Structure 1
Amino acid sequence: MPQPVAEWFSTWFDSPYYHLLYRDRNHSEAQAFIDELLVHLHPKPATRLLDLGCGKGRHAIYLSEKGYDVTGVDLSPESIDYARQYATEQLRFYVHDMRDPLPYGPFDFIFNLFTSFGYFANETENVVALRSAAAALRPGGKMVIDFMNTELTVRELVAREEKTVDGITFQLRRHLDNDFIVKEISFADREGQPQHFEERVRALSQERFEEYFQMAGLRLAEVLGDYHLAPYTEKTSPRMIFILKK
């Protein structure tokens, strides 16, 4: 029998070149966003938080430093291995597929940040993931999904880009493929071997998200449009940040 093809995120996110390509991500901007969210949501000191799709744990670690009880989960074993060096009694990390039930709850807040959603080839799996998250929320708990503003992203898609980081030159190609925004990433690794990876994120509209939320039993409280939490405007906002309530 042929082996099933690995999902793109299970291989790319475990690659050291993924972390190299994105190593200049703005940490101070990410922390400022978290600060804004905490002021906006005002969680109580004993609040239990889940960082769903936590990567190497930068947001989970920062939330823990703020005094909250934090769990971080991610599909990438490499990322979780890295994050675990920061684990404490109030901060723990697990390898976990967001489509599977979450055994670590219940949580008062679940954060899904920086477009860590919409990766699955089968659209119904997006709803499965949201239902798993909703089941791990306490009644009255809140979930935050931070996604790109798809309409703006598609309109301003940069088809070709080249980026050199630490001696590795990445060729980036972006295009639409049916319902997905695709980024193809090609480069020669440190041994000179050609490498090719792909990122595929479903081009989800606000309306599609709202259908998902309804199916997952989550109520949409508000939609914010940037990391300063300005109201969402489809034509100009860089982000779609959904605040949901169970």
Structure 2
Amino acid sequence: MTLHTAAEPEWFSTWFDSPYYHLLYHDRNQAEAREFLEGLLQYLHPKPHHTLLDLACGKGRHAIYLSERGYDVTGVDLSPESIAAAQEHAHDHLHFHVHDMREALPYGPFDFVFNLFTSFGYFRQESENVVALRNAAAALRPGGKMVIDFMNTERTVRELVAHEQKSVNGIDFHLHRHLHHDFIVKEISFQAPDGEMLHFEERVRALSRERFEEYFQMAGLRLVEVFGDYRLTPYDEANSPRMVFILKK
């Protein structure tokens, strides 16, 4: 049964398919991402025959790296544009599919599931978060592990920068961040090269560690460890930039 019958498109279905999304975030730190994945691989010790899922993979940067390390990797994402770009790197042991995580995964089972770079908590209805997590857990083999990398919400809210401007390739992006009904909202306004004024937004539910733990219990997942950053140092609610959850089925 599909839960998401909205009259208007959900923000991520339009923004993630926009070329301006990739332009705004073109400078994401690739070296940091690789260091993070390398640390996770050393911690998790996947075996050569293990299968990995990159859930909400975007253009596949994490999936591609995991594949380069010799694993069989599947990447799924809601954005057809992102998956089309990722498909350029596909091969016999690297597969990409358009998929909404609120629907049961027809792929798998997997030994490890990765959900990285705050790719969770986007949905209007909170129940959809639990549905998505249950679907991911169902795709895990018994004893398999899941990694969810989310912002440290407590610190993010405390240090929220309300207004910011970023100039990329001659386009001035005006960013406005605020809290609205349990969501951290980023409004993005700019003038396109053809003169059109465009407006997008990002909405991520302000999920606490305690709320996540409720989700995990409902999905039948056991919390093994929480790290606080991409170097996998211990989580500290006041100061850590991230919440990196290690879960076991």
Fold match by TM threshold 0.5: yes
How much does 1:99 deviate? Answer: 0.6
Residue in structure 2 matching 1:92, options 91, 95, 100: 95
Segments of structure 2 that go 5 or more residues without pairing to the other structure are 1-5
Q: Give the corresponding residue for 1:158.
A: 161
- Partner in structure 2 of residue 228 of structure 1: 231
The partner residue of 2:214 within 202, 211, 229 is 211
- The match for 2:177 among 174, 178, 181 is 174
Structure 1 residue 101: Cα displacement:
0.4
1:38 counterpart = 2:10: no
Match of residue 76, structure 2, among 64, 73, 85: 73
Quick one: distance in 1 between partners of 2:195 and 2:50?
49
Equivalent residue number for residue 125 of structure 2: 122
Q: Distance in 2 between matches of 1:49 and 1:144?
A: 11
Separation in 2, partners of 1:214, 1:161 = 38
Cα shift at 1:4: 1.3
**TM-superposition CA deviations, 1:35-72 (whole Å, max 9, x none):** 00000001001110000000000000000000000000
Matched, 1:55 2:58: yes
* Structure 2 residue identity aligned to 1:13: F
Provide Cα deviations, 1:78-137, integer angstroms capped at 9, x if missing partner: 000000010000000000000100011100000000000000000000000000000000
Correspondence for 1:21: 24
The Cα shift of 1:178 comes to 1.5
Q: Which runs of 4+ in 1 moved over 6 A?
A: none
- Whole-angstrom CA distance in 1 between matches of 2:193 and 2:80: 22
Distance 1:15 1:163 in 2: 17
Q: Deviation of residue 190 (structure 1)?
A: 1.4
Q: Distance in 1 between matches of 2:231 and 2:34?
A: 12
Q: Is 2:248 the partner of 1:245? A: yes
Equivalent-residue separation in structure 2 for 1:6 and 1:181 (angstroms): 19
Secondary structure of the residue that 2:131 maps to in structure 1? Answer: helix
Gaps of 5+ in 1: none
Is the deviation greater in 3-12 or in 106-115? 3-12
Distance in 2, matches of 1:237 and 1:45, equals: 32
Question: Equivalent residue for 2:203?
Answer: 200
Aligned length: 244
Distance 2:194 2:126 in 1: 38
Counterpart code for 1:10? S
List per-residue Cα deviations over 1:192-246 (Å, max 9, x = no partner).
1000000000000000000000001111011110001001000000000000000
**CA distance, structure 2, for counterparts of residue 134 and residue 98 of structure 1:** 11
Q: What root-mean-square deviation, in Å, do the aligned CA atoms of Structure 1 and Structure 2 show?
A: 0.6
